[in-house]
Structure 1
Amino acid sequence: MTHSEERSVAHLLARLFVGLWPPQEVRDAILDDIQRWTWPRGAAPVRGDKLHMTLHFLGFVARERVPELVQALHVGFEPFELTLDRGEVWPGGIAVLRPSAAPPALRELHRGLHRALGPLGVRSARHHLKPHITLARRAQGAEPPVQCEAIHWSVRDYVLVESDLRPPTQYIVRGRYASPDA
């Protein structure tokens, strides 16, 4: 589907994902990290207000199903610490920041969300967790900083987000889910 087609169906369908939304201090640290990279001409860094870690990309879902999803995605989970400490450029020129190791609680949250989506008939495009935050696109040839400063993130909640592709594009949080232990 082209961007113009996506925008034209926006009133009928919501483009959704479930992810981790960094608090401002983590977002600021990520933005500082972006400044330390060497970027090729034409690289397109992600705007600060769009930095996130996708756990499950749901794609286009009928708008009338959004309230059902908001209710169904309450999954109990243990708060956890996430350390973002590896900058990489993936095939296709995607620059990312990721953890060296995914905490077991993150993997369990991913599985719990997958189980919650199953009975709803909503399929995730992310069956296997590959935790990362996209920093930039069209970044083939970018170089991460020589000294990576680890960014520590105390994860206490996750979100259901709509990608509104109508100009100006934005992310709208449709549901926020805190750990009972947060």
Structure 2
Amino acid sequence: MSAEANKPSKNRLFFALWPDEAVIEAVERMRGELGLDQGRPVPQENLHITLLFLGDVPDETLDDLKALADRLALASCEIVLDRLEHWVRPAVLCLTASEVPEPVAELVNQLKRGVRKLGFKPEKRPFRPHLTLARKVRRRVGERQIEPVRWPVRDFVLVKSDRDDQGSRYTILGRWPRSREAVP
């Protein structure tokens, strides 16, 4: 038996906010108005905001990650993507939010604390909400304000990422709705 056969199976995972149809339509409308024609556009089905990237995760950890998500709360809020930015180092064009809604910031902090207890080493950089529009953008694009894309946050998801010659394919492994508000 080879050493490869003895290696535990792993999945490339991340927690994210996943857009509904209205958000996708707003992003596509804005993308068309800006006339963005460079780089490799991110397909509609891959649009998202990463909350916490986990990397390669052993299969046996998946249930622990889902149990963690079951315990977390997400209050009602809205992310406003109001800037277009070109990040030279990763060569991506992104929509970014000038402000991080407190419920989203708290969810990210809860995720980081939770995965740390599971043995992960989450990224230390502060969370910065962004939606990648295009990859491999080599020609400089100036940062600018745009017509805001309003994203009502209704849930968060755990996503598996598979790569091939065509890019990344994402599969949602679990979805957790925001907390229900108390009804008077």
After TM superposition, the score normalised by the length of structure 2 is 0.83
Q: Quote the residue 1:132 is aligned against.
A: 130
1:64 corresponds to 2:63: no
String of CA shifts for 1:17-60, please: whole Å, max 9, x gaps.
0010011110111122222334465x111011000000100000
2:149 and 2:37 map into 1 onto residues whose CA distance is 24
What's the % identity of the aligned pairs? Answer: 32
Of 155-164 and 27-36, deviating more is: 27-36
Q: Quote the residue 1:4 is aligned against.
A: none
2:123 and 2:172 map into 1 onto residues whose CA distance is 19
Cα 1:65–1:145 change in 2 (3 A) is: closer
Q: Which runs of 5+ in 2 are unaligned?
A: 1-7
Q: Quote the residue 2:120 is aligned against.
A: 122
Task: State the Cα distance separating 1:167 from its structure 2 match.
Answer: 6.3
Cα 1:22–1:69 change in 2 (3 A) is: same
Matched residue of 1:85: which SS?
Answer: strand
Task: State the Cα distance separating 1:88 from its structure 2 match.
Answer: 0.8
1:142 and 1:35 map into 2 onto residues whose CA distance is 19
Q: Report 1:49-88 matches (<5 A).
A: 49-74=45-70, 75-88=72-85
2:117 and 2:60 map into 1 onto residues whose CA distance is 17
Cα 1:85–1:72 change in 2 (3 A) is: same
Q: Quote the residue 2:40 is aligned against.
A: 44
2:155 and 2:148 map into 1 onto residues whose CA distance is 21
Task: State the Cα distance separating 1:123 from its structure 2 match.
Answer: 2.4
Query: Match of 1:102, as an amino acid?
Result: V
Contact 1:158–1:177, Cα closer than 8 Å, also in 2: yes
Cα 1:147–1:91 change in 2 (3 A) is: closer
2:78 and 2:146 map into 1 onto residues whose CA distance is 18
Task: State the Cα distance separating 1:127 from its structure 2 match.
Answer: 4.3
Query: Match of 1:111, as an amino acid?
Result: N
2:110 and 2:126 map into 1 onto residues whose CA distance is 13
Aligned residue pair count = 171
1:106 and 1:80 map into 2 onto residues whose CA distance is 8
1:23 to 20, 33, 41: 20
Give the number of the structure whose residues are more often strand, by fraction. 2
Q: Quote the residue 2:158 is aligned against.
A: 160
String of CA shifts for 1:123-158, please: whole Å, max 9, x gaps.
223642011001111213354797721111110210
Root-mean-square deviation over aligned CA pairs = 2.2
Q: Quote the residue 1:7 is aligned against.
A: none
Task: State the Cα distance separating 1:12 from its structure 2 match.
Answer: 1.3
Matched residue of 2:176: which SS?
Answer: strand
String of CA shifts for 1:70-93, please: whole Å, max 9, x gaps.
111221121111111101101232
